[in-house]
């Protein structure tokens, strides 16, 4: 039987970061998936994770693991798909390292991706966003940091990883303020900043102090802000804002809802889904099309145009140019005759 430990170590330490160029955050996500899998397999087989063999990770055990994370851990279908994709990536690596397990690997790679319902994405209105941004105490250093951090996350439509990893050297507050962001797939994009966001960033940088961390936002100890730290800050101020904004009461506000809110506002302002995709750093525009289902104003305009084209007896905005053209043609015909 083939020992699992040296193969998974080589996959996470050499194949992913060095040969395939994965980001450290992606490697950590994959490593966490295998941590859950190996703990489940070791518990099911009654051995330690270091004693696992490749042949023991068959398709039946993988299916039991996927069912376990849904039923016992309460994970959704999206998390299940993420764990399964990590396992399949490792199996593709094993095809060349352990040829004797090709049949077993093929069975695992044949496990289908589970389909799931896609509800409308939750987002915040401008009134709710303002209530959250106004919640921090701006007379304190941490209050200035919290407002600047939440404002930048919303205005730039950043992912949490992009926000906490934003470097001070990539921020320019001069004539044309902008922030250079490195998103998924190591794709960089330069985002212009709103005047209000620049004001909050300058207020934070004035009290940031001389810390050694290269990131824009740091915690109370002077080290880089973490994902969990920002989630805690946003949840704290959302709870405070709920006292003055009734629509926030009883709701769980996640950092990604700030990103969704920015995307919807941009879509309503530009009416161009391609610009929204570029702003958010989406590699596939089909990901951005999700926001089309959120924008009720677009559906209202589309239904109005359809009604005007099919059942209206009077000239409307959509039919007015053709109506004017027909009058001009009639007047020209009278002149000629």
pLDDT band at residue 312, thresholds of 50, 70 and 90?
very low
pLDDT score, position 45? 94
318 has a pLDDT exceeding 50: no
* Catalytic hit among 22, 30, 93, 291: 291
* Catalytic hit among 80, 83, 208, 259: 259
* Catalytic hit among 123, 208, 237, 282: 282
Compute φ and ψ for 75, nearest 5 degrees. Answer: -75, 150
* Catalytic hit among 184, 240, 275, 305: 184
Each residue's pLDDT tens digit, 199-244: 999 999 999 998 889 999 999 899 999 999 999 999 999 999 999 9
Dig out the tokens for 292 from the structure.
């089309």
Q: Can 22 be counted among the known catalytic residues?
A: no
Plot region of 157 (φ>0 → left; ψ -120 to 50 → alpha; else → beta): left
Q: Can 259 be counted among the known catalytic residues?
A: yes
Each residue's pLDDT tens digit, 49-108: 999 999 999 999 999 999 999 999 988 888 999 999 999 999 999 999 999 999 999 999
Across the range 313-324, mean pLDDT stands at 45
Q: Can 282 be counted among the known catalytic residues?
A: yes
94 closest CA partner among 173, 8, 154: 8
pLDDT score, position 329? 53
Each residue's pLDDT tens digit, 137-162: 999 999 999 999 999 999 999 999 99
- Mean pLDDT value across the chain: 86
Dig out the tokens for 322 from the structure.
């053709």
Q: Can 256 be counted among the known catalytic residues?
A: yes
Burial class of residue 243 in the structure, from the number of CB atoms within 10 Å of its CB (0-12 exposed, 13-18 middle, 19+ buried) = exposed
pTM of the model: 0.72
* Catalytic hit among 123, 145, 159, 237: 159
What span, in angstroms and rounded, lies between the C-alpha atoms of 236 and 329?
66
* Catalytic hit among 88, 256, 275, 298: 256
pLDDT score, position 144? 96
Each residue's pLDDT tens digit, 242-286: 999 999 998 989 999 999 999 998 888 888 889 999 899 888 888
Q: Can 291 be counted among the known catalytic residues?
A: yes
pLDDT score, position 127? 94
């Amino acid at each position: 039987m083939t020992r699992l430990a040296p193969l998974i170590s080589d996959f996470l330490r050499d194949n992913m970061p060095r040969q395939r160029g994965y980001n450290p955050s992606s490697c950590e996500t994959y490593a966490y998936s295998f941590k859950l899998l190996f703990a489940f397999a070791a518990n099911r087989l009654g051995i330690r994770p270091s004693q696992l063999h490749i042949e023991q990770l068959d398709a039946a055990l993988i299916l039991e693991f996927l069912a376990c994370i849904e039923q016992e851990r309460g994970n959704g279908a999206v998390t299940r798909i993420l764990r399964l994709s990590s396992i399949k990536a490792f199996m593709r690596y094993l095809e060349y390292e352990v040829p004797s397990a090709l049949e077993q690997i093929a069975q695992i790679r044949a496990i289908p991706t589970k389909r799931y319902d896609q509800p409308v994405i939750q987002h915040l209105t401008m009134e709710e966003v303002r209530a959250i941004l106004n919640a921090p105490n701006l007379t304190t250093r941490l209050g200035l940091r919290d407002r600047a951090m939440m404002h930048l996350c919303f205005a730039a439509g950043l992912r949490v990883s992009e926000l906490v990893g934003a470097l001070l050297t990539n921020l320019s507050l001069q004539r044309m303020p902008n922030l250079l962001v490195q998103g998924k797939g190591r794709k960089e994009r330069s985002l212009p900043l709103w005047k209000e966001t620049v004001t909050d960033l300058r207020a934070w940088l004035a009290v940031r102090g001389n810390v050694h961390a290269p990131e824009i936002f740091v915690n109370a100890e002077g080290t880089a802000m973490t994902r969990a730290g920002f989630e805690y800050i946003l949840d704290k101020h959302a709870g405070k804002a709920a006292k003055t904004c009734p629509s926030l009461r009883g709701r769980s506000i996640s950092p990604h809802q700030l990103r969704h809110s920015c995307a919807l506002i941009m879509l309503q302002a530009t009416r161009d889904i391609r610009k929204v995709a570029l702003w958010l750093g989406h590699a596939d525009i089909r990901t951005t099309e999700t926001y089309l289902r959120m924008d009720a104003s677009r559906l209202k305009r589309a239904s109005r145009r359809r009604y005007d084209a099919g059942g209206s007896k009077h000239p409307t905005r959509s039919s007015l140019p053709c109506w004017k053209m027909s009058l001009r043609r009639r007047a020209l015909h009278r002149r000629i005759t």
